[in-house]
Structure 1
């Protein structure tokens, strides 16, 4: 092979490599927020173009000593990280507790529920008497505050009262608006639900 032929071959290999790179799977899942039919319920499309791109589900580099499967919630940055192998994490945008309702600490996922019933705590009903009609529980549905999925957080065998859950209020992501629970877009909580296991460690940081 002469020099000219060798150079041509090198260029062809480089072009093939670059073409292959262009076809690698995307690591930002902006296209995953379309309408979803799930367990008989119809979740509407989220207008994801109105949500800051940093809050779109994505795989990121993440340096931690926690083992894969651990969930780390950064309430100040409004991110939830699901720790993956090889220094990676799936990152989700979240909504967090408003002033006076923040919390931090370590808990475990004790239960997972699809399309859960929502029962407002007595303290919440006292603050918002209109919720009294749901004292016995609000049935599952697309308007239910817990959304499509809920992960129940316990500490020392006791229910903390806090949840990682979906929400129909996609515009609350990136904000401090909840009564302490960590909320995700419904399409994201469905994804997290499939990844997270009962017993998984959950760390909530301020």
Structure 2
């Protein structure tokens, strides 16, 4: 079962607040690029993280020079006792795995919750939403009165804290208030930056969204 701290009101408010911060996006050169360490970025990654003008809200290309290459989406060898089609969040190492057959998994780099709002256990993805609405809780609005304009929900878009897609985590039929969602904040991947929500690059959360159905099991590991 998920840690019962998930359901404390204060943690829930802070959790939702975690998804609210400014977005930063970068443009990637059309051909070739290097990381900050001088390493060459392979063309397949440039294509993987290309601009997506076909989306409801056009998504810019990711500036991969700002991200450690270990966090690029990739198919990896991965043994797990969990059945294929399970989402596994490796909190300490900042990875999300989608298990596959034959000892493989699709691995994504993520940003995870700050200390004090870490969480773990087993749950499921109750449902998914493209370009979701985000609604700050009353406690958050009380702390940040300027958010009152969003009391009935923040419209979808690149500035929306949930990004291009959101997967809603439920346990025992109850909303945990935790989400797997998109972000344009490339600098946050690989870091502990949010109060519990698991954030992926916009292109990665779209890829994950397209691979998993409602009801997908999710396991969050803290160690």
Q: TM-score range by the shorter chain?
A: 0.7 to 0.9
Alignment of 1:50-69 (within 5 A): 50-69=66-85
Q: 1:79 aligns with which of 95, 113, 119?
A: 95
Deviation at 1:183, TM superposition (A): 0.3
Moved more, 133-142 or 38-47: 38-47
Q: 1:52: Cα distance to partner?
A: 0.2
Query: Cα offset for 1:69?
Result: 0.6
Q: Please give the alpha-carbon distance, in whole angstroms, between the structure 2 residues aligned to 1:125 and 1:106.
A: 30
Work out whether 1:188 is the aligned partner of 2:188.
no
Structure with the bigger RCO (C-alpha within 8 Å, sep 6+) is: 2
Given that 2:165 and 2:181 are in contact with CA atoms closer than 8 Å, whether structure 1 keeps it comes out as yes
Cα offsets for 1:59-86 (capped at 9, x unmatched): 1111101111100001110000000110
Shift of 1:179: 2.0
Matched residue, 1:142: 158
1:190 to 1:61, Cα distance in 2 relative to 1, 3 A = same
Could you tell me the TM-score, scaled by structure 2's length? 0.77
Question: Greater CA deviation, 39-48 or 157-166?
Answer: 39-48
The aligned residue for residue 8 of structure 2 is none
Q: Which has the higher strand share?
A: 1
Counterpart residue number, 2:9: none
Is residue 66–residue 186 contact of structure 2 (8 Å, CA) maintained in 1?
no
Aligned residues: 180
Quick one: which of 105, 112, 119 aligns to 1:103? 119
**Residue deviations 1:121-162, cap 9 Å, x none?**
233334433322212110000111100000000000010000
Unmatched runs of 5 consecutive residues or more in structure 2: 1-41
> How large is the RMSD of aligned CA atoms in angstroms?
1.5
Instruction: Give the TM-score normalised by the residue count of structure 1.
Output: 0.83
